[in-house]
Structure 1
């Protein structure tokens, strides 16, 4: 079921999830199995957490005429209990799982527990799961995290998510769609209604938010594998599927992260800060680069004067709330600070895109920002590309930048026009 070029090895470095028709745990898992994750090894990871409890089977199905793989989770031991976040954390911590699988699964359930705690107004430790603490959801989360690891995925991004509309029956009674936990998990992410019914489940949304570092269209990449995972319903006229695209990502310009959160809308983000006065200044460029590579929306330094007249820097990191713990851990490990403070912020972000123009026979990328109506607000040649061309042909960087701007305008990439 793997869509791979004949005779080639899968690069399997970046995973992009297409959740434009919705997302559920079994759909996510089905897409990864369809992309090549070995079901027997995924089953082994699930068995490490829930021994002799569930059996995974894969079926080829059709959804609105589109071929897809559906992974069915079958119970072999009835009367499975509902569980608390503490119960699930203990199960995952004690299971014989690879460290990467356990860490990803723990993060997915932590994100879900925090969303449920906000929904019900209780502490995360007091959250008592019903649907999402059942055996099938644990299997979906552990199986998906195992599949991502088995496929060699290092980074993940995802599309805007279709949430659905109408009403749904839950353990708390009939609730409007999207259900409250899904809406909490959607904070800072681009979403659509997408159709009738519950298109995104809490488990599926938690997997997207815990694994993906950014919401973006299909990024530039050399595609190695494509997987299509099916939901249980076959809705006429709308393929009920999640698609997984895995491949080697095209190089992003230095210091540029994928767009984070909603497009051309207000995003709820965090600013993490730490004052540092005893770090070798030669380390700072690598610290900033590592934060950006890890999915920070931005990272910067501000010179300050600390007590006793000591010169220092404030390190600031702009990130999504769901990435808070990971970014804090990176700051604490990459610098000499003893602590990180945080405060919430809102950001209005324009949609961003990249185009390439040819300057003196060499490609130069142009960073473009777009207004809500799709017209170009800004078009700026990438400095590092221009500098590389200038070194190659022996011209001043200023001239190459000017020439790249002129080429962009000639190609229709101009302020006020629609992006070609």
Structure 2
């Protein structure tokens, strides 16, 4: 069984609407704040309230700053350093947030005809945008890492004033981010922001609805503006779908001229793109050359996208694929209390019976480092706490 999150940008999408939809699905604003507390940016808080647009009730969220920065311009390298140094952000959330910022940076670089190293983020480099993007990555963690699908977003029309002056809507970066992806040219005003476009591009499969799934929770993230022609909401439906054995594939590529750094990069990025698992095995290639076999387990819905990634990002000249079967346990997350703090434990279940359990490594590491105790001691305490809480 896998989790599915389906996003419908009825009134468009922005970073704060994504966070608001997560809260409306039941996530705690305090949990979001705690996960984002390690970001080294000036003071901020999350202001959450109920709001209504066109008779639809949902959650509205603002990132409230203690004092707005006079010149919120940051280079990609500065933002990367902030995110990588944040001790409270889970590793996968860091990867996703960095991928979103890189996508925005590449789009801006393409629009302005410069290198990404020369790009200085303006609005997107401000504290509230950093919190929005890192918060969106945390939302997916707190929701249990669902597979994300999204309907084509409406882009809006008109003009808007930004750091570079008056710009057409959609602004060039938004359109560049969504190039080659399905969109809707409709609506008045800026419905999809660059941040919203980047979140969809990096985190979601944009296009047709997801395979059939059972909807369990529905949330509405409410935007600030109130449009005449549509409710300004982002609807998020969270549910579960059974993984079909015939829909699972293994993709393989032989690599005899690939550096260790590139192999590590590939492993990280196929997982961000939706792969279920990925691994590298040493091998002896023709002419007795040492090399590696890169294997990736994917569902049919992301097979083409991951294959394209391997062809573009690796040194291979071809990718093999074959269908496989897998019987998977149901999975969930529970929080347990150790003598040094709370950590999450991932459980594997079959018909309600817990067959496997493993403490979240990043949680245990943060607790161990903060308390000055051995990591293995925290992990053992987490398993013991899980046993007493069943």
Q: Is TM-score (shorter-chain normalized) higher than 0.5?
A: yes
**Are residues 91 and 191 of structure 1, via their aligned partners in 2, closer, same or farther at CA, if it must alter by over 3 Å?**
same
Give the match for residue 70 of structure 1.
Answer: 60
Distance 1:235 1:293, change over 3 A: closer
The equivalent position to 1:87 in structure 2, one of 78, 84, 90, is 78
Q: Name the CA distance, whole Å, in 2 between partners of 1:293 and 1:207.
A: 12
2:46 counterpart residue number: 56
User: Which of 216, 220, 242 is the aligned partner of 1:224?
Assistant: 216
Write out aligned runs for 1:10-409 (5 A).
13-50=3-40, 53-79=43-69, 81-96=72-87, 97-252=89-244, 254-255=246-247, 274-275=253-254, 295=274, 318-319=304-305, 324=309, 327=310, 339-340=315-316
Equivalents in 2 of 1:25, 1:243: separation in Å? 13
When residues 340 and 213 of structure 1 are mapped into structure 2, their CA distance, relative to the original with a 3 A threshold, is farther
Q: Deviations over 1:370-396 (max 9, x none)?
A: xxxxxxxxxxxxxxxxxxxxxxxxxxx
Indicate the SS of the match to 1:69: strand
Q: CA deviation at 1:237?
A: 3.6
Residue number in structure 2 paired with 1:336 = none
Give the paired residue count.
286
Q: Call closer, same or farther: CA 1:23–1:294 in 2, change over 3 Å.
A: closer
Residues 347-388 of structure 1: CA deviation (Å, up to 9, x unaligned): xxxxxxxxxxxxxxxxxxxxxxxxxxxxxxxxxxxxxxxxxx
Question: Is the CA contact 2:225–2:232 (under 8 Å) kept in the aligned structure 1?
Answer: yes
Counterpart contact for 2:202–2:273, Cα < 8 Å: no
Shift of 1:111: 1.1
State whether residues 295 and 319 of structure 1, in contact with CA within 8 Å, keep that contact through their aligned partners in structure 2: no
TM-score normalised by length of structure 1 = 0.61
Q: Indicate conservation of the 8 Å contact 1:22/1:240, yes or no.
A: yes
Equivalent residue of 1:142, what SS? helix
TM-score, structure 2 normalization: 0.65
- Flag the 1:253–1:315 CA change in 2: closer, same or farther, 3 A: closer
Gaps of 5+ in 1: 1-10, 258-271, 278-290, 297-305, 333-338, 343-420
User: 1: CA distance between counterparts of 2:25 and 2:202?
Assistant: 20
Q: Which ranges of structure 2 fall in alignment gaps of 5 or more residues? A: 257-269, 276-284, 297-302, 319-390
1:219–1:318 CA distance, 2 compared to 1 (3 A): closer
Contact 1:222 1:250 in 2 (8 A): no
Specify whether residues 294 and 106 from structure 1 end up closer, same or farther in structure 2 by C-alpha distance, changes over 3 A only: closer
Question: How far 1:252 sits from its partner (Å)?
Answer: 4.8
Hey, what's the Cα distance between the residues in 2 that align with 1:174 and 1:51?
Answer: 28
Partner of 1:152, secondary structure, is coil
Q: Is the CA contact 2:217–2:237 (under 8 Å) kept in the aligned structure 1?
A: yes
Per-residue deviation, residues 315-372 of structure 1 (Å, max 9, x unmatched): 9974279x83xx579x97xxxxxx3469xxxxxxxxxxxxxxxxxxxxxxxxxxxxxx
Q: Following the alignment from structure 2 to structure 1, what is the Cα–Cα distance between the partners of residues 121 and 176? A: 16
Q: Which protein shows a greater Rg?
A: 1
Partners of 1:48 and 1:95 within 8 A in 2: yes
Question: Shift of residue 115 of structure 1?
Answer: 1.0
Deviates more, 1:226-235 or 1:147-156: 147-156
Q: Distance in 1 between matches of 2:255 and 2:83?
A: 36
Distance of aligned partners of 1:124 and 1:51 in 2 relative to their CA distance in 1, 3 Å threshold: closer
**Relative to structure 2, which stretch is displaced further, 46-55 or 111-120?**
46-55
User: Aligned partners of 1:193, 1:120: CA distance in 2, in Å?
Assistant: 23
Kept in 1, the 8 Å contact 2:10–2:231? The answer is no
Confirm or deny: 8 A CA contact 1:46 1:143 kept in the other structure: yes
Post-superposition offset of 1:40: 0.4
Deviation (angstroms), 1:136: 0.9
Partner deviation per Cα, 1:282-318 (whole Å, 9 max, x = no partner): xxxxxxxxx899658xxxxxxxxx96699xx999974
- Cα–Cα, structure 1 residues 167 and 293, in superposed 2: closer, same or farther, change >3 Å? closer
Cα deviation, residue 79, structure 1: 2.2
Q: For 1:293 and 1:254, how far apart are their aligned partners in 2?
A: 23
